[in-house]
Structure 1
Amino acid sequence: MTRVYDVAIVGAGMAGASLAAAIGSRVRVLVLEAEDAPGYHATGRSAAFWSETYGGPDIQPLTTASGPLLRAGGHLAPLGSLHIGRTEDEAAMDLFLSEFADSEVRLDRVDPAAFVPGLRSEWTLGVQEASCAYIDVAALHAESIAIARRSGAVFVTDAAFAGAGRADGVWTIETKAGAFRARTIVNAAGAWADAVAARVGVRPLGLQAYRRTMAQLRTDPGAPEGMPHIADLGGRFYFKPEPGGRLWLSPHDETPTEPCDAAPEEIDVAIAIARFEQVVDWRVAAVERRWAGLRTFASDRLPIYGFDRDVPGFFWCAGQGGFGIQTAPAAALLATSLLLGINPDPSVAAIDVARYSPARF
């Protein structure tokens, strides 16, 4: 326990791993992970697509800035997205288009039937987001960990956070794996971020975890090659093609829950299939796999990056909702600049980081 790290990151999911990679060798970094392997919860259960409109206009700058970094690493592959609706969704479509009218995101009105064979006739509204892409979450996460380790970061797994106390500018951190010392704690604990804060006497910020359900379907006919990601303008479902003609389907649910090892509910899978069958005339031949993950939001649904307003040496990197994977490269660069007190990387210098500050609460 004699070694003092400059930064101890609590959580080795995408947020913690990408931040450790972005910091590089500039400071001594320790990453503490509660599970026996990094990325078990939200990171390992991602829907695995990158969409510039996902999360809304306040998230779009982070997503757009992450795009070139993800492409350079070979982590994106063409997919495209089609946002569809019925007559009653016209107001939602108009709002969607207006929100991104002044952004870099190109959105085009299209006939959805030209993109989805077997689309039921009432689905007449379509907006194409051609930039949407598959994202290789596992490769991105593994690369972040590898880069961080090459830079000298130390990863300790099975190290559930128990608490910490600060004296003379140094935290003594108690974990299941033993005690560690660091000058700064970074709270990248995902759904457990408020619990980590409370255990060191930092005021929780009101983060709420939600369960999101996914299912892999085998359909007849199978998903055609080249079909885009399909998202409901009313926010009731999305689905995307996978190799072998499979589909990943979600009812776009957000069920409030305590931080946990999330598991899917049969009713949510059934709801997803019922909604899917109202969209296309395909037959669901089998549900091959089902799972659930957690997404954690602040009350305003924006992420939180920055030092705590009241407690020195405590840094927030939390509240990434469902967009933490697609924004990770840019978010890590912004968080690094705030954490180390350096100028931000040019790729993110134009982003207004104040909107994500914990001081807003």
Structure 2
Amino acid sequence: MNGVTGRMGYRQHLVRSVLAINEQGGVALSGGGRVLLRPVLVGRSPEKLAKLSADHGIADWTTDLDAALADDGNLIYFDAQVTQARVKAVLTAIEAGKHVYVEKPTAETFEDARALAEAAAARGVKNGVVQDKLFLPGLLKLKRLIDGGFFGRILSVRGEFGYWVFEGDWQAAQRPSWNYRAEDGGGIVLDMFPHWAYVLENLFGRVRSVYAQAVTHIPERVDEQGETYRATADDAAYGVFELEGGIIAQINSSWSVRVNRDELVEFQVDGTHGSAVAGLRNCRVQHRATTPKPVWNPDLPVTARFRDDWQEVPDNEEFDNGFKIQWERFVRHVVEDAPFPYDFSSGARGVRLAELGLRSSAEGRRLVVEP
């Protein structure tokens, strides 16, 4: 496990996934058996690795990635490093014959992302990309509605994601400073468009064209050492995506917006028979039979409470941590060849969408996404 000293690698992948899986007795297999995981922590800082090891009772850690990959007992390589360090390490793991599971984006460029997919296929190793948002309770409920035919013909998708990330001067920033430096692999397009690619693809259809406007709203920020730096990466992006079947998706992504919605990300889906608004956990619906008929009149105050006309979708099941669910699926994919569609090729499509989004913004035009 390389990169678990970082926030996401530590919280979601080590603690809430791998260690949580072991606490529940391992990954359940189809034949009734279970697989326990033996994490080996890899990173650059021996002090941080030693502390994590002591805090969680993990026996193995090393700053020598090559040595860890040379160990035949280590079957899976996981990478949650900063994006710039990922390609070289993943290629090394592939060459060592390890099955590989990585955070997204898989690379900074589509060329490199495609090269990873080709290398994994040529070496014959199992490979997967974290696509955690598919397993959020809100999106699982939305998928249930789609599969049940609730929407009729889906017309459009509107997504709003983001929150205010403090500049770092009078309040500490909630995200590392490298996120706002293009030279360090930062930018909200590279961070979020790969997410939108797999969400749109798995729920509604593959993206066929993109028009995007990427901007840097906050030109200067303050880093972890209190030094002011120039923000060279985009901190907001406004995208329009045409999907298979003529569905139009519009998604706004911003670290420079204050939240006036129920959750940090929400998707509204409108169809001929009904609409839904799904967030991280909740999902509300309005069927065509219960749709009100508002009348536009700027001379009179609005008395209707439009939110009251929506109905909550029940849970109907218990929802586990999305990162943990995908870890279990990848382990089953490795151990018993269970299906796992979230491979390096799907990750490459996400990087391609980010690359085209940045190019669309630079050129000021709509770009077609090749099949």
TM-score when normalising by structure 1? 0.24
More strand by share: 1
TM-score when normalising by structure 2? 0.24
Whose radius of gyration is greater, 1 or 2? Answer: 2
More helix by share: 2
